[in-house]
Structure 1
Amino acid sequence: MAKTVLAVDDSASIRQMVSFTLKSAGYEVVEAVDGVDGLEKAKTQAINLVLTDQNMPRMDGLTLIKSLRGLPLYASTPILMLTTESSDTMKAQGRAAGATGWLVKPFDPQKLIEVVRKVIG
């Protein structure tokens, strides 16, 4: 059974790149347009890994992470930030919110696959 990744990003092109990259590596991908959409989709299906952007309308990535961590099902699910934000302050906020790891855009597709495999197999 393929592992399912939830890709949350307000950029359609980033979602398409993430989706194409991970599907080609054998993962199922569920796309969400922002944190609100991502939270709703996470509540209705089993997700093995969440990849989220930080800067999005309606709900940003840190708020999404905190919201997911508040749900028993997502207390220990890996959550990776995939964002242009790379400051130490933002990374510290991500860790404090419950992020498992951090990837900076633009991302290398091979590196994304390596990180996802390391985190969920």
Structure 2
Amino acid sequence: MANQFAYDHPTYAARQFQQGVAAVGAGTATPAADLYAPHAANLWNAHFYVTTAGTATAAAFRVINVSGTTTTTIGSVTAGTSAAGSAVRLNALSTASTITPTALAADSRTYAITVSDATLAGRVVWELALDKGGLAT
């Protein structure tokens, strides 16, 4: 059963950062760095930290959301051959004032994969805010 919440608590007023549970593996389409949302939320950004550099200029991280039976690609960010320790973001920080967040439905799952490279690997930190009037499952 879903419940509706409308709190003024700081948890609902401030953006939160959550590190993905597992690292995004090299050369794999296996979902990793899961973000499970039992409560409706707004995804503002995905920060990727390269742990192993890619070998192709097209090497990228891709963000995918699964809500019910619907799978949607939220976006991709090219890391290319960025060195280990580098950071790339789904939404550039220079556009922070114009970013429109991606709504995540309650009980949805968002994850990251690597594409176009056999060696690129990294970790993800999700930047999100809970939806004040959203439903929780």
Higher relative contact order structure (alpha carbons within 8 Å, sequence separation ≥ 6) = 2
Q: TM-score, normalization: structure 1?
A: 0.30
Q: TM-score, normalization: structure 2?
A: 0.28
The structure that is strand-richer by fraction is 2
**Structure index of larger Rg:** 2
